[in-house]
Amino acid sequence: MLLLVCGLPKQAAAVDQDPGVWVIFSTTDAFQTADGPSRWRYWFDAQARFFDPGSGANQYLLRPAVGYDLNDNVTVWAGYARFRTQNTSGNYSDENRYWQQLTWTAARWDHGSLSMRVRLEERSVSSGDDLGLVLRYMAKYTRPIGDSGKRDFVVLLEPFFALRETDWAGSSGLKQNRLSAGVAWKLSDKTTLETGYMNMYSWADSGEDRLNHLAIVNLKMRF
């Protein structure tokens, strides 16, 4: 039911459709001790997002975090993200996000795995006064392709729910949904290149909703 609800627009509306490209570098792993990997983990990603190439609408972000493994399947995280967004007029706005999340492996079957994530974000922007609260739920399915162990098929669903109205993001409720599919290529034991397509639908309080067709390139490394 969640897949059906989040995969469809809330109501018939005019939709502005644009292509885009997201380039991502990410790393996450356990901190090492003299006795081996610890329960504490690090997370960092840096992104450059280009919406409607040539329009001047770009976004850049840095996002570090630390996590702790409650057991082999469940990890809690706390982190910070810094965003800088440029609109089509060339003006910049900055955003600070503090966030907390829970990740877990929900199921494994037939060589594939289903993982889930719930994240709460506290958002403040330079163009507004109100503090935004956003709840994000992600479900991700990964399954090997072939017998080489070097390629995985990945599909992901992530709806965004605004928990309160703000003077810069509008009303509360379902605000965005991301649905993506792609292939993860294992280049080495510590490096993976994930490429794919993301369908990102954003609902507007007034005017046109937005649908972005995004090419995703994500280089994942462990150190």
Longest C-alpha distance within the chain, in Å?
59
pLDDT for 5: 45
CA 188 to CA 221: how far, in whole Å?
9
**What pLDDT shows up at residue 30?**
97
pLDDT at 3: 46
What CATH number was assigned to the domain covering residues 19-221? 2.40.160
Structure-block tokens of residue 210: 């937005």
Domain ranges of the chain: 19-221
87 vs 55, 61, 123, 127, 214, CA distance in Å?
8, 15, 19, 12, 17
Residue 14: pLDDT band (50, 70, 90) is confident
Task: Name the residue with tokens 């993200």.
Answer: 81
Higher pLDDT, 143 or 111: 143
156: closest CA among 49, 7, 52?
Answer: 7
Residue 13: the pLDDT is 59
Token pair 């954003």: residue: 202
- Residues whose CB is less than 8 angstroms from the CB of residue 147 and which lie 6 or more positions away in sequence, other chains included: none
Q: How confident is residue 207, by pLDDT bands cut at 50, 70 and 90?
A: confident
| Predicted TM-score of the model (pTM) | 0.92
Q: Which residues, including other chains, have CB under 8 Å from residue 36's CB and lie 6 or more apart?
A: none
Average pLDDT over residues 28-57: 95
CA pair distance 87, 181, nearest whole angstrom: 27
Higher pLDDT, 43 or 6: 43
Predicted confidence (pLDDT) per residue in 119-146, tens digit: 999 999 999 999 999 999 999 999 999 9
Residues 56-88: tens digit of each pLDDT: 889 999 999 999 999 999 999 999 999 999 999
The mean pLDDT value for 169-197 works out to 97
Mean pLDDT for all residues in the chain: 93
Instruction: Report the distance separating Cα 5 and Cα 218, nearest Å.
Output: 28
